[in-house]
Structure 1
Amino acid sequence: MPRNYRLPSYHRQSPAIRCLNFLCAVLLTLVLIAGIILFVLWLSLRPHRPKFTLTDFSIPNVNRQSGAANLPVKFAVNEHNPNQKIGIHFEAVYYDDELIASGPVMYPFYQPPKGDTLVQGELAASGPTPTDPAWQRFASEVGAGSVGLRLVLNSTVRFQVKVWDTKEHHMKADCGFKISGDGSLHQEDRNTPCTLYF
C-alpha cells in the first residue's frame, strides 16, 4: 500500500515582522559600529598623567647656627605634560614630618601637547629654628652633609581634548631627595622622577 507523503506547509512571515527584524538587525549593527568608534576614540584621546622631575633645589647658608628660618628655598621641577591644560597652584617643602616652607608657586598656565614647563619656585623658610624639637637632628644632618627633604607640589589639573574640557582633578607630585651641608642638591638626586598621586 503506497504511503502518502505530505510536504510541510511553508508559513510566510507577515511584512510587519520582516520589517521589524530588518530594523533590529540594522540597529544592532549601528550600535556595534558606534561602540567600536567610541572605543578607538577613547584609546586615542584619553588623558595621560603628566611627569615631574626634580632638576634643582637649594637652601643657601643652611649650615648657619641661627636656624633655617627666613632662608631662601629655591627649586626647579621639570613638568612634562602630553595633555592640553594644567594648572599648578601650591607647593610645600617638608623635612620628614616637619614643614620647612610653603606657599604658592605659579599661576595656572596653558601647556600645549607634548610640552615641557620648568616650574620654578622661591620661598622663605619658616624653620626649623634652634627652639624647634627637630633642630638638633636637622643641624646634625646638615653637619654630616646629607639632609633628607621632600618637595610636594599640589596641583589642580584640567585636561582639554579639542574643544572638550574635563572636570578639575587634584594631583600631588611628591619628590624625595637629599641636600648637602651647603644646601645644594645631591648630584645623584638631580633629574630624579617624582611620585605622582592622582
Structure 2
Amino acid sequence: MANTVPPPSPASKLCRIIAVVILALIVLFGLAVLITWLIIKPKQLVYRIDSASVHQFNQNNNHLNATFDFIVKAHNPNGKISVYYDSIEVSASYEGQTIAFNTLEPFYQPHRNVTRLDAALVARDVALSEALSRDLKQQRTSGDIGLDVRIKARIRFKVGIIKLKHRTLRISCSPVKVHMSSLKSLETTSCDLDW
C-alpha cells in the first residue's frame, strides 16, 4: 500500500495566496518609494544666521528692554521640492531663559532658493533673576552677548503638484554672538535641524 499525501485544503491555499499577494504589495511599495526617492533626491534644508545686532538695549532693576535684529538665511537646495512656511516663530534665549520673541510672515520658498528672513525680536520689560541680570551685564561689558536663537515653523513640502501634510520644523542656532558695537563683524552661525 502506497502512502498518499492528502491534497491541501482550500483554506491553506487561500492563506498562501493572501501571503503571496501581501509580499508582492510590500515589494511593489518599497520599489515605488525607492524610485520616487531616486527621482526627487531630497536634500536637507540649510539655515544660518548671517547678522546679529541689538538696539535700544536697556537693563534696569533686573528688567530688560531691547530689540535684537537677526538676518536668517534659509536655503532650499532641492531641485524638485519647494516649501511653504505657514507659520514661523523666532525666539532668543539667554542661559535658558527666553528674553525676546516675534513671529514672521508666512512665505513660499521655491526649489534651489536662498531666502533672507529679517527677524526683529523684541524684549519688552522682561524680568530677569538677579544672577541672570548680573551675567548679562558682564557679557555686555565684554562687548558680546551669546544668545541661543530658536525657530519653530509649520511647513509643507510641495513636490510637483502634490502638497504634503504639515510638519513642525525646529531650528536651533547656538551660540549667536550679538556684538554691542556695530564695528565688530559677526561670524556666521550655522543652525541645527530637528524634525
Decide: shared fold, TM above 0.5.
yes
| Matching of residues 23-172 of structure 1 within 5 Å | 36=31, 38-45=33-40, 47-62=42-57, 64=58, 66=60, 69-81=64-76, 82=78, 83-87=81-85, 88-106=87-105, 108-126=106-124, 132-133=129-130, 134-172=132-170
Gap runs ≥5 in structure 1 = 1-27
Measured against aligned partners, the alpha-carbon deviations of 1:157-188 in whole angstroms (never above 9, x if no partner) come to: 11111111211111111111112343x59645
Cα RMSD after superposing both structures: 3.0
Report if aligned partners of 1:153, 1:172 keep a CA contact under 8 Å in 2. Answer: yes
Distance 2:129 2:138 in 1: 14
Asked if the contact 1:57–1:185 (Cα under 8 Å) also holds between the matched residues in 2, the reply is no
Aligned to 2:5: none
Identity across matched positions, percent = 22
Cα offset for 1:68? 6.8
Partners of 1:68 and 1:61 in 2: CA distance? 13
The count of residues paired between Structure 1 and Structure 2 equals: 166
* TM-score, normalised relative to structure 1: 0.71
Q: Distance in 2 between matches of 1:139 and 1:195?
A: 28
Displacement after TM superposition at 1:55 (Å): 0.7
The one-letter code of the counterpart of 1:74 is: D
Unaligned runs of 5+ in 2: 1-22
Larger radius of gyration: 1
Residue 171 (structure 2) aligns with: 173
